[in-house]
């Protein structure tokens, strides 16, 4: 997984934070957290480093009651569908709990994909790409992300043809 994340930076992706949200048991419930999980970021972008530090404070319930508030990683995990937006700054704070941090650290685009074990049976987490730019067309990034994960024997939703 670390290798897949490093591909984003090594292949010229600028101003991007790639972080994994994984389910962990906390007080008898499963939550997604990025704390202790793999990540890579463009070190030249201090806003993304600060955003990563802020992300460590968040966890999102993936079982039980959520009071209608899931957060982006949990929506992707529970609905088993990718989610992307050119600008999270247009979301409400219920849709994107990290909104204040996104505004403070110049975060705009996000792309979140499920990550599966090679068998495709078990979801091991959510890969979130956070960008300081606004992207309208995510198809090339979706394809590149899926290929990077497949190179290290992980998989994403089969939402697009990779031929």
CATH number of the domain within which 40 lies:
3.30.450.40
Of the candidates 30, 56, 42, the one whose C-alpha atom is nearest the C-alpha of residue 129 is 42
Q: The pTM is what?
A: 0.80
- Average pLDDT of 110-114? 86
Between 122 and 14, the more confident residue is 122
Supply the pLDDT for residue 42. Answer: 77
pLDDT at 52 over 90: yes
Do the beta carbons of residue 16 and residue 130 sit within 8 Å?
A: yes
pLDDT at 27 over 80: yes
Least confident of 26-30, 106-110, 137-141, 158-162: 158-162
Q: How far apart (Å, rounded) are the C-alpha atoms in residues 54 and 113?
A: 20
The helix (run of H) or strand (run of E) holding residue 38 is: none
| Domain count of the fold of the chain | 1
Supply the pLDDT for residue 29. Answer: 87
pLDDT at 144 over 80: no
Supply the pLDDT for residue 56. Answer: 96
User: Mean pLDDT in the chain?
Assistant: 78
- Average pLDDT of 125-145? 71
Identify the bridge partners of residue 59 per DSSP, sorted by sequence position: 33
Least confident of 57-71, 99-113, 149-163: 149-163
pLDDT at 32 over 90: yes
Supply the pLDDT for residue 129. Answer: 85
Residue 108 located in a structural domain: yes
Reported as a pLDDT band with limits 50, 70 and 90, residue 112 is: confident
Residue 121 lies in domain: 1-132+142-152
Q: How far apart (Å, rounded) are the C-alpha atoms in residues 115 and 157?
A: 8
Residue 137 located in a structural domain: no
Of the candidates 85, 86, 88, 84, the one whose C-alpha atom is nearest the C-alpha of residue 101 is 88
Residue 163 located in a structural domain: no
Residue 5 located in a structural domain: yes
Least confident of 110-114, 121-125, 145-149: 145-149
Residue 159 located in a structural domain: no
């Amino acid at each position: 997984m670390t290798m897949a994340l490093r591909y984003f930076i090594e292949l010229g992706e600028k101003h991007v934070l790639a972080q994994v949200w994984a389910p962990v048991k906390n007080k008898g419930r499963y939550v997604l957290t990025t704390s202790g999980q793999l990540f890579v970021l463009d070190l030249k972008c201090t806003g993304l480093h600060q955003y990563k530090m802020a992300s460590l404070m968040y966890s999102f319930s993936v079982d039980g009651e959520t009071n209608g508030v899931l957060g982006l990683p949990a929506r992707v995990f529970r609905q088993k569908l990718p989610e992307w937006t050119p600008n999270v700054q247009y979301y409400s704070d219920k849709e994107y709990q990290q909104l204040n941090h996104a505004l403070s650290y110049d975060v705009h685009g996000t792309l979140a994909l499920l990550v599966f074990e090679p068998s495709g049976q078990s979801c091991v987490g959510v890969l979130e790409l956070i960008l300081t730019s606004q992207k309208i067309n995510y198809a090339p990034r979706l394809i590149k992300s899926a290929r990077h994960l497949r190179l290290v024997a992980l998989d994403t939703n089969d939402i697009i043809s990779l031929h």
